[in-house]
């Protein structure tokens, strides 16, 4: 998780927190691109462009991003028992 260290400042100790931070970031960027694509009339949904030929995989990605968002909402219930907090 050293690619974007400032995104992961609160979660550097456990892999569930790191994965959820990464998925939430990917989801936010994807939805931002979907919005921009709507204005310019193009499909900029990166998840759809990458795995659109496998609709089930696309749905699994969306579910994982949603679960990561829920995990970040309740980050005090982190599976690492607070090891994420500096």
Mean pLDDT by 10 residues, the chain (86 residues): 50 75 92 94 92 92 93 72 54
Residue 1 pLDDT: 44
Please list, residue by residue across 25-35, b when 16 or more beta carbons sit within 10 angstroms of its beta carbon and e when fewer do: ebbeebeebee
Residue 20 pLDDT: 87
Residue 9 pLDDT: 53
Q: Which tokens is 42 given?
A: 């193009």
Residue 57 pLDDT: 94
């Amino acid at each position: 998780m050293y690619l974007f260290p400032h995104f992961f400042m609160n979660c550097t100790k456990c892999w569930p927190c790191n994965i959820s931070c990464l998925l939430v970031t990917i989801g936010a960027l994807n939805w931002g691109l979907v919005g921009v694509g709507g204005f310019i009339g193009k499909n900029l949904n990166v998840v759809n462009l990458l795995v659109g030929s496998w609709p089930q995989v696309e749905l699994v990605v969306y579910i994982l991003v949603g679960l990561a968002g829920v995990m970040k909402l309740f980050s005090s219930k982190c599976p690492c028992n607070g090891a994420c907090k500096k």
